[in-house]
Amino acid sequence: MTTETTPPQGEKLQKILAGAGIGSRREMERWISEGRVSVNGETATLGDRASAEDRISVDGRPVKLDNYASKVRRVIAYNKPEGEICSRSDPEGRPTVFDRLPKLSGERWIAIGRLDLNTSGLILFTTDGELASRLMHPSHEIEREYAVRVMGNVTEQKVKNLFEGVELEDGPARFTDIVDSGGAGINRWFHVCIMEGRNREVRRLWESQELTVSRLKRVRFANVIIPDHLRMGQWEELDKDAIDTLAAHVDLEPAPLPTVRKQARTTHSGLKGPRGKTAAQSKGKKRPSPHKKSSPHKRNRFS
């Protein structure tokens, strides 16, 4: 006799919270484990499911599920200055990347990756925790591009080592693209690409070759290139086409988008040196399709 199994009802709680813009899926899993989340008055546990009709609370405060139910997805690009940290608050009172972002009601901005204190450039923020989680997960191999000023004697052999891979303290690492962008004396600019977001990975790769990074700026994340007009400390909301392309990188369907907002507040001067151009653009190449992974062995254009 065959026994029919009733399929689980609703979606995983951490997915709902992430979709509502409360935080990333991984962060929500931690909050559930800590007993901070309740459903219909009962403390939730990992594995629980719910729907938009349930009463979900975090730390006793009701969660608005309007955005989750409507599947609205917002993404903004922020040009981070050096000296800002990527935490929501800092005991030392240092400025954070969240200080300048537009205010939200019933949800919050989720940072897609981080940049260290002394690195400037592009950080993406979204209200969609599922999008953030997928874009940060190593399995999706999202390309990040940096403009980097290197101090020291950069030889062909050292560049070959960085392209073929070196062993760092947390495992092997490599650049998938290296483009010489010019410079004079012991200071030279390069554009480099990596597929991961490990802590200080770009700096540590160059340091493995006894070279020093004196300036570092992220200029691209996946298909999103930092606009030339976006000065440090400014943000700009992405249009629907850019967001849909970004979502397609991680196999998410297009979602509705509210009216695009732009901000033009000037706070800092731009970075001196190469900015805005991607590695492919600096050689006059067309950008590869955003739905195709680049072949690193065909893209090393160091000269």
DSSP 59-72: TTEEPP-HHHHHT-
- Distance from C-alpha of 155 to C-alpha of 133, rounded to nearest angstrom: 38
- In the chain the beta strands, taken as DSSP E runs, fall at 11-12, 37-39, 42-43, 49-50, 56-58, 61-62, 75-80, 110-112, 120-126, 144-151, 166-168, 171-173, 177-184, 187-194, 212-221, 224-225, 235-237
**Catalytic pick from 116, 228, 239, 241?**
116
3-state SS class at 166: strand
What's the token pair of residue 21?
């813009």
Contact 162, 174 (CB under 8 A): yes
What backbone phi and psi angles, to 5 degrees, belong to 163? -80, -40
**Cα torsion 297, 299, 300, 303: sign:** positive
Tokens 């400037």, located at residue:
120
- In 81-176 the beta strands, taken as DSSP E runs, fall at 110-112, 120-126, 144-151, 166-168, 171-173
Active site residue 116: yes
DSSP 180-230: EEEEETTEEEEEEEES---TTHHHHHHHTTT-EEEEEEEEEETTEEPPTT-
The amino acid at residue 6 is T
Burial, 93: exposed, middle or buried (Cβ in 10 Å; 0-12, 13-18, 19+)?
exposed
Catalytic residue list: 116
